[in-house]
Structure 1
């Protein structure tokens, strides 16, 4: 009888552990879904991207001082007002119009630079010297590039 009681206790402990694991997984899933829905990504039974903001080239001020490219980050898109500039100094003005943190990274031809992580509503400038060629850009937050926050940027001869 004592061995039978121990086996029932062991089985009860195992079932309790499995049940606790399932409840934890469900809780995490519901919290993640609530955050996603709260961010406005899911409405009317389908995933929606917020509309891209109207963008305009910010003048650089002094001729020959460089080029300025405005970058708007949102879920899950990086919208650049220009995908091509002449070689030289380029300033990326990055604004996070999304509801989660984002950053902006550009790399290629020996360049690998990024902004700090930007909270919703924050902005930053990233100034780099770019030679003619093709550069990749992305948001480095885990999984954001795979969701569409990436692309290619071309620098032409000066």
Structure 2
């Protein structure tokens, strides 16, 4: 029996994310929602096998933290083969998340073909979240240039 809930997996994914890109990847899966259910579904071992869930005590406090580490690259490889039971949209969302997290190559033409507006929004927001430090720096430079003129 699986003792983890969607809330626990959400917390675990967030705790395991340390960079903007990994945070964006985690939030994309969390917002999508279907992936949390799939990763917890023991009747779908093809997804449950790619997540390691564990509890780790905090270093500075006695508080325990949940961590969920996905095998992003292995799951992406699995999704590129026949025999999985995921929708095209689920695969596209996961592939973008895996690309943000682990650099898994994606074909944006294939990702965007047939994508509905809601999933396109999720993907664009995840990419923007991952790139935010760069965007913020460019915006500051543009503001400084505008002020100088």
Q: Shared fold by TM > 0.5?
A: no
* Structure showing greater Rg: 1
Q: Considering Cα pairs closer than 8 Å and 6+ residues apart, tell me whether 1 or 2 has the greater RCO.
A: 2
Structure with a larger share of its residues in strand: 1
Structure with a larger share of its residues in helix: 2
The TM-score by the shorter chain falls in which range?
under 0.3
- The alignment's TM-score, normalised by the length of structure 2, stands at 0.22
